[in-house]
Amino acid sequence: MKEKEIRLAHGGGGQLTNELIHQVILPALGGGQDPKRLSDSATVAWPDQPAGGGKVVFTTDSFVVWPLEFPGADIGKLAVCGTLNDLAVSGAHPAAMSMALVLEEGLSIELLARVLASAGKEALQAGVRILTGDTKVVERRGEPGLVINTTGLGYPMPRAKLGFDRLEEGDRVLLSGPLGQHGLAVMIRRKGLSIASTLQSDCANLQPLAAELVSKLGPAVKWMRDPTRGGLAATLAELSDATGRSIEIAQQAMPVDPAALSAAEFLGLDLLSVANEGKLVAVVKAEASAQAVKILRQFPIARQAADIGQIGPVGELPLVEMLTRAGGRRIVQMPYGEELPRIC
Amino acid sequence: MKTIPELRQEIDRQVDLLVRAGRQRIQLMEVCGTHTVALARGGLLDLMPKPLRLVSGPGCPVCVTDQSYMDQAVWLAQNRPDVTIATYGDMLRVPGRSGSLEEARAAGAQVQVVYAAHEAVEMARQNTKRQVVFLAVGFETTTPATALAIEQARRLNVTNFSVFTAHKLVLPAMRALLSQPDIQIDGFLCPGHVSVILGYKAYEDLARDFHRPCVVAGFDEEQILAGVAEICRQLATGQPQACSVYSPVSAQGNTVAQKILADVFHPADAPWRALGVIPGSGLELNEAYADFDTRRRIEMPPCESYELPGCRCGEVICGRCLPTDCPLFAKACTPRSPVGPCMVSSEGSCAAYYKYRWRGGKAAKL
């Protein structure tokens, strides 16, 4: 790596995060996964179980967000949903979760209780129990903060057959709703920006959506991901990189939240690179696309679900491109680090 | 508002008239970095009829900032342990002789990203033992906010806050560009946000003296195309003028903001990347606010002005070349490892070309 020290951009979910994972973390800890095809969770076969059964899907995630409470959600709900979603997009039902807390001295206990209640409520609604945990307290470093780690154990949805290698030219790319709501809502609240905004984080559990898609459509659902850090741009860039396939999406087809759009325009941000916490990207067989959209739209959080584009052929330099509403084209790239608001 | 296809037809028609009247190439300059990004992100550049070309102007605040300023800012971060630098995020990664602010931060310097000037005042109030230095860059859009922050700091008696100003004025730079014989600019697409403050009448002298259309436009696809269509129409009719196709912009601009600006700042000569010192193109603090001037409060070593080796950013922001004409573009210089500020800034022309238009060499035609 070019850098000698960790920079904040190494946590942005873009190129630098990728380099950190591939050049520092995986060489030391990688267990033989194809480094180009990393997923949100790992599937582990249980050695003494009969073939076909006893597979465990395993994922972990740490949550750092400031402020701890923001419009539409808080760090507690986020920590539960984030891990549920990593299981969901891997085609797994949740079985159990762990939660580890790192508390900074000075953190309000009332606030802690509030965000934990929110986490508990979300887990209860999802029908998953938090069975183990840990608590540490560290010295205050700035704003008294809280880091939550959650680990999720799950088991494969019976009809799930997901994988990078299942993609074919002509498959359709589905998006469950408008982009940018979480990242922008947090940014506006964090910085007390003087934008009168009704924007709410989209933080939500995607388990019901993923489960319904997989149970109704089975192997016609080929790949899923939740476009969190780095946004849809990072998700599609990774998909293209892992499969060697170009991808084309159409701006006209993309669902839009006018509040997110105007906030992004005000701040000069590209909606495609802003984080989401309750959106599903699914690649499905072309013939199943219309039905998949219909299934998704039954859920209130996916009323605006849409077919936004398609998977292209394998190529030497695969590109993700967007057909713009003006009729032009633009490239969609892996963001560098965190997207920054403009100055002028 | 006309639709996109209607506006494209209008542009085609006017350009056709101009070509028939003997023009071989029509080169317009978008002055504002936000326009540069919107043009690339919206895929609009490829939709322009062939003889019409848009080039970037000196409208990206980070890109026009002289290297001497960057070096002094990094010096402050590295050599003054009592100083916290408060800066817009785009300044973080601009390389200087002793590295960038981002590198200084990773090595332990206090460098905090803010979205607005008043956050820096708040930071100073909460950390009274530290000197908070706000890196004040930007044009008339950000200047009133800096002025308000300084007034607030004075009102609240925040003595550990100061402003290291590199604020710039748009009009003197446009005038300086038109005075350079080797740059072809047939018309200006004037910045929407800056003009909300300035008013479109501010461009009247320029339009008259240099006989160039100066059309203020907004930032969505329709507004940009409407601006380009209006410039072409004025060129075709031979009647260039200053006007706006962006409804929030009035003739006189925001006089309240103009007054706040004049209360705190006065115009002064300022160095620009590539353009050198342009008379009356920068802003200095008025005597009443001199206590908040970092330059008066902290003695800094003099740093010289220079161009980054091999980098053509200076030519890019003057419309002398396109980002793709630079030999470093997408080779030695990428958003991952930027050589010049135009690749660093989210409003920079090179970053916009790379991010939205670069096809990785496969179809290198841009």
By C-alpha distance, which of A148, A128, A315, A339 is closest to A240?
A315
* pLDDT value of residue A125: 97
Question: Which tens digit of pLDDT belongs to each residue from B203-214?
Answer: 999 999 999 999
Instruction: Please state the rounded mean pLDDT for residues A183-199.
Output: 81
CB proximity A142 to B under 8 Å: no
Residues B225 and B329 in one domain: no
Q: Which domain holds residue B350?
A: 325-357
Residues B101 and B161 in one domain: yes
Instruction: Name the 3-class secondary structure at B32.
Output: coil
pLDDT reading at A340 higher than 80: no
* pLDDT value of residue A259: 93
Residues B161 and B289 in one domain: yes
Question: Which tens digit of pLDDT belongs to each residue from A31-87?
Answer: 666 777 788 888 877 766 655 567 899 999 999 998 999 999 999 999 999 999 999
CA distances from B4 to B10, B145, B224, B226, B245 (A): 10, 35, 10, 9, 15
CB proximity A317 to B under 8 Å: yes
Domain residue limits, chain A: 36-156, 164-331
Q: Which of A3-12, A60-69, B90-99, B161-170 is predicted with the least confidence, judged by mean pLDDT?
A: A3-12
**Above pLDDT 70, what percent of chain B?**
98
| B contact test, residue of A269, A332, A343 with most B CBs within 10 A | A343
Check CB contact under 8 Å for B106 and A336: no
pLDDT reading at B130 higher than 50: yes
CB proximity A50 to B under 8 Å: no
Residue pair A112/A105 in contact by the 8 Å Cβ criterion: no
Residue B363, domain member (yes or no): no
Strands B161-165 and B131-136 turn out to be parallel
**Residue A36 C-alpha, separation from nearest chain B C-alpha, in angstroms:** 19
**Residue A326 C-alpha, separation from nearest chain B C-alpha, in angstroms:** 6
Question: Which tens digit of pLDDT belongs to each residue from B17-73?
Answer: 999 999 999 999 999 999 999 999 999 999 999 999 999 999 999 999 999 999 999
The CATH number covering residue B29 comes to: 3.40.50.11740
pLDDT reading at A194 higher than 90: no
What phi and psi, each to the nearest 5 degrees, are found at residue B347? -100, 5
By C-alpha distance, which of A245, A242, A232, A241 is closest to A306?
A232
The chain-wide mean pLDDT, for chain A, equals 91
Give me the residue from B41, B142, B359 closest to A344, CB to CB. Answer: B142
The two three-digit tokens of residue A4, written as one number: 């000698």
Q: Which of A298-307, B249-258, B351-360 is predicted with the least confidence, judged by mean pLDDT?
A: B351-360
By C-alpha distance, which of A271, A279, A296 is closest to A177?
A279
By C-alpha distance, which of A87, A95, A101, A89 is closest to A129?
A95
Taking CB atoms and an 8 Å cutoff, what residues of chain B touch A323? 43
Say what the pTM is.
0.89
Residues B329 and B252 in one domain: no
Please, which pLDDT band fits residue B364 given cuts at 50, 70 and 90? very low
Asked which of B298, B315, B334 is the last residue of a domain, the reply is: B298
* pLDDT value of residue B363: 37
Residues B331 and B203 in one domain: no
Taking CB atoms and an 8 Å cutoff, what residues of chain A touch B165? none
Residues B158 and B262 in one domain: yes
d(CA A285, CA A222): 7
Please, which pLDDT band fits residue A310 given cuts at 50, 70 and 90? very high
Question: Which tens digit of pLDDT belongs to each residue from A248-296?
Answer: 999 999 999 999 999 998 888 899 999 999 999 999 999 999 999 999 9
* pLDDT value of residue B100: 94
CB atoms inside a 10 Å sphere around CB A271: 26
> Nearest-CA residue of chain A relative to B127?
A142
What phi and psi, each to the nearest 5 degrees, are found at residue A180? 95, -5
The ipTM is 0.85
Taking CB atoms and an 8 Å cutoff, what residues of chain A touch B137? 343
Strand-pairing partners, residue B283, are: B267
C-beta contacts of B252-256 below 8 A and 24+ residues apart: B252/B199, B252/B201, B253/B195, B253/B196, B253/B197, B253/B198, B253/B199, B253/B200, B253/B201, B253/B202, B254/B144, B254/B196, B254/B197, B254/B199
Residues B335 and B210 in one domain: no
pLDDT reading at B365 higher than 60: no
Number of domains in chain B: 2
Homologous superfamily assigned to A36-156: PurM-like, N-terminal domain (3.30.1330.10)
C-beta contacts of B154-157 below 8 A and 24+ residues apart: B154/B289, B154/B291, B154/B292, B156/B121, B156/B125
CB proximity A304 to B under 8 Å: no
Cis peptide before A318 (omega within 30 of 0): no
Check CB contact under 8 Å for B116 and A193: yes
pLDDT reading at B113 higher than 80: yes
* pLDDT value of residue A193: 67
* pLDDT value of residue B94: 92
Give me the residue from B59, B106, B362 closest to A7, CB to CB. Answer: B106
Secondary-structure class of domain A164-331 per CATH: alpha beta
Give me the residue from B105, B347, B359 closest to A343, CB to CB. Answer: B347
CB atoms inside a 10 Å sphere around CB A136: 9
Please, which pLDDT band fits residue B337 given cuts at 50, 70 and 90? confident
- What sign does the CA torsion over B95, B96, B97, B102 have? negative
pLDDT reading at A343 higher than 70: no
**Above pLDDT 70, what percent of chain A?**
94
* pLDDT value of residue A302: 98
**Residue A341 C-alpha, separation from nearest chain B C-alpha, in angstroms:** 7
